[in-house]
Amino acid sequence: MLPLFAGVATAMALGYLFWSVRPRPWQIANVVAFLANVAAVRSIPRLDSSNAMLQPLNYLTPASYAFAIWGVIYFLEYGFVCLQLLPRAQTELLRRVSPWWCGANACQVLWCLLFRPQFDSPGLLWLSAVALSSIAACLNRAHALIAAPQPDAQDGSVVLRVPVTLHFGWTTAAALVNWNGYVARCTSAPTPKLAVALLSAALATSVGSSVTVDRGSGLYGGTVAWAILAVGVQTVRSERLGEELGRGIAIAVGIAEIMLAAGLFLVAFGISYARNRVYKPGVGRSAASPSGGLRA
């Protein structure tokens, strides 16, 4: 229901905004891309909408509670596409971010089209994994622009930073989940599926730590850690996984994933704490931490 609400609310709000302001083409493109995303997510039946028991067991599956983050992401992105239409939002940073934002939304529409039952085969399922990886790649470029020090504090507005960072962090992990789903479709042997799952958890932790430190983005690291933690929780409590691997091995793997998530949470917290303490006399908070808040 949330994507539908977001779409209806956006259409109503945008009707007024288009009537009262004169948005630039790239601002309109941002709105169209988001609405296409919402429509695709809402209307296209996907593999993750079907019975999970009918799917091959993916060893890198987050617990269901973790997907609540989509509600936060869509709510904040709805706010972004509305507020970015205002004349004061016509900044150079927003203009430079827009192509990557639109690209990410276009790739999400493509993913919805490809992550369907007719593509659920070893020969085709990789296409959806590529599309989801492309979402993360586009958001990576947008996030790199946002995370760079800005001469204008308005350019670092939380309205732009937070939704892009959350979406980027979640799709970083989600792309790996999709690739593990492809591996599970290609083979039912536990050994390669377990190896790929462990490598994926380690890769997510490594990428999450690297981006967090390099860009001073504690929110990104926290988002990736949230996903890894959910994978660990699901691994520990999954009866199907316990049957395939043995209960003891499944618990050990889940605990290892939870420990990786805990380590990444610590990195994210440490970076955020350090950034928020940076202060330049006579200037105030540094560009790395606008308004003294949590840098995304």
User: Residues 212-240: pLDDT tens digits?
Assistant: 999 999 999 999 999 999 999 999 999 99
Structure tokens at 284: 């105030």
Instruction: Categorize the per-residue pLDDT at 209 as very low, low, confident or very high, splitting at 50, 70 and 90.
Output: very high
pLDDT confidence band for 286 (50 / 70 / 90): very low
Q: What is the pLDDT of residues 98-138, one digit of tens each?
A: 999 999 999 999 999 999 999 999 999 999 999 999 999 99
Decide: 59 and 235 in contact? Cβ < 8 Å: yes
Instruction: State mean pLDDT over 244-268.
Output: 97
- pTM of the prediction? 0.85
Among 27-31, 169-173, 289-293, the least confident range = 289-293
Between these two residues, 286 and 196, which has the higher pLDDT value?
A: 196
Tell me how far apart the alpha carbons of residues 6 and 281 are, in angstroms, rounded to a whole number. 43
The three-state secondary structure class of 284 is strand
Q: Are 164 and 139 in contact (CB under 8 A)?
A: yes
Contact criterion met (CB below 8 Å) for 264 and 221: yes
**Which three-class secondary structure state does DSSP give residue 285?**
strand
Residue (of 108, 119, 103) closest to 175 by Cα position? 108
Give, rounded to a whole angstrom, the gap between the first and last alpha carbons of the chain. 27
Q: What is the mean pLDDT of the chain?
A: 87
Distances (CA, A) of 207 to 165, 231, 238: 14, 16, 26
> Is residue 258 a contact partner of residue 229, using CB atoms and an 8 Å limit?
yes
Q: What is the pLDDT of residues 263-284, one digit of tens each?
A: 999 999 999 888 777 644 444 4
